[in-house]
Amino acid sequence: MVMDLKTKARLISVGRIELPEILRPSGPVSTAGPGAGEKNVFFRSGEGRVRLSVAESSPLKLAELKGTEVAIFENGHEVARGFLEKPLLHCPRQAYITVSERCIYYCKFCAVPKLSGDVKSKERVMKMVAEAQDTGELEAISLTSGVERSPEEEVERVADIVRSLRRFDVPIGVSVTPALRSSKILKTAGADEIKYNVECLDPDLFGKVCPGVSMEKIEMALLDAVGHFGENRVFSNVIVGLGESDRALREGIDGLAEIGVLPVLRAVYPHPLRRDEIKMIRPSPERLVDLARFTRKVLDEHGLRGDVAETGCYRCTGCDLIPHRDL
């Protein structure tokens, strides 16, 4: 049974899965994405892929079948069959690396400021990518970063790393907090794609969930990014489940597509470190499908494509329903 759109939406909506001991991932926990600080598995079924957090208890259970085949069961019924993919660095086939695992901002849904982890040197990033390349699986590099001291300094740090990473000759995507001239700096350094996350598209809610961050500045930076990177090469994460209205979401998605930006609609992840600070409700499968269909429609209207991305989440597809790939 191949995972179809509705099944993937259901799996994303639940977000976590129980695994038999033998299949539990043994590598380091991921430091990027919604499951930062937690163990994840990647399930591949047909052309589709989904990332799920490993949990002690969940309505979803993974079972081994013959050989490498596995199946996902919900309440005793098989919902999809496929196999587990080994992540390269964070996700399959990409070296997806968090440079600064800390942040001076305090967006209320994000675990990074609370985890306050390492800041990786250029040498360490180069070594990680070289080891990923040695596996023969490296197809893209994605760099993400919090903000250790200031957005300007972080952009310079990441640009310097990008310049050195060019030698691996694979596409490079970057996701950072925008700073003055950041798109020009990162494009000149050799980045192919860029992501500036607006996170919340409801203007009434934005100031509450991302205090100290300017929504307007992010939108201006996205517009500038399209000028430097071109259409289909600029992305922005949009969280679904913070209490935003569907009207504000749809208007915001349309506004992003209108300027040539591809929205990454991300189901909110109520991280254990943040659960008590803000109301976070995982979107239903129906809401996810509905919003994904709407996004696909507006991308079509604006002549954008979700299947040309070479890096990051539009290429990985693990956490979201990606237009032109999943639907």
Residues that bind ligand SF4 (CB under 6 A): 32-33, 51, 90-91, 96, 312-313, 316, 318-319
Q: Which is nearer to ligand SF4, 33 or 252 (CB)?
A: 33
Q: Helices marked H in 85-167 — which ranges? A: 112-115, 122-134, 151-165
Q: How far is the CB of 321 from ligand SF4 (least distance, A)?
A: 11
**What are residue 165's phi and psi, to 5 degrees?**
-70, -15
Q: Which two tokens stand for residue 148?
A: 């250790």
d(CA 266, CA 200): 10
d(CA 105, CA 74): 38
Q: Which is nearer to ligand SF4, 15 or 224 (CB)?
A: 15
Q: Which is nearer to ligand SF4, 85 or 251 (CB)?
A: 85
Query: 10 Å Cβ neighbour count for 237?
Result: 21
Q: Quick one: 75 exposed, middle or buried, by C-beta within 10 A (0-12, 13-18, 19+)? A: exposed
Q: Which is nearer to ligand SF4, 176 or 185 (CB)?
A: 176
Q: How far is the CB of 299 from ligand SF4 (least distance, A)?
A: 17
Identity of the amino acid at 176? V
Q: Which is nearer to ligand SF4, 154 or 320 (CB)?
A: 320
Q: How far is the CB of 57 from ligand SF4 (least distance, A)?
A: 22
Q: Which is nearer to ligand SF4, 51 or 102 (CB)?
A: 51
Q: How far is the CB of 35 from ligand SF4 (least distance, A)?
A: 8
Centroid of chain to Cα 76: 30
Q: How far is the CB of 216 from ligand SF4 (least distance, A)?
A: 26
Q: How far is the CB of 94 from ligand SF4 (least distance, A)?
A: 7
Q: Quick one: 211 exposed, middle or buried, by C-beta within 10 A (0-12, 13-18, 19+)? A: exposed
258-267 in b/e form (b: 16+ CB < 10 A) is ebbbbbbbbb
Q: Which is nearer to ligand SF4, 219 or 320 (CB)?
A: 320
Q: How far is the CB of 178 from ligand SF4 (least distance, A)?
A: 19
d(CA 279, CA 270): 9
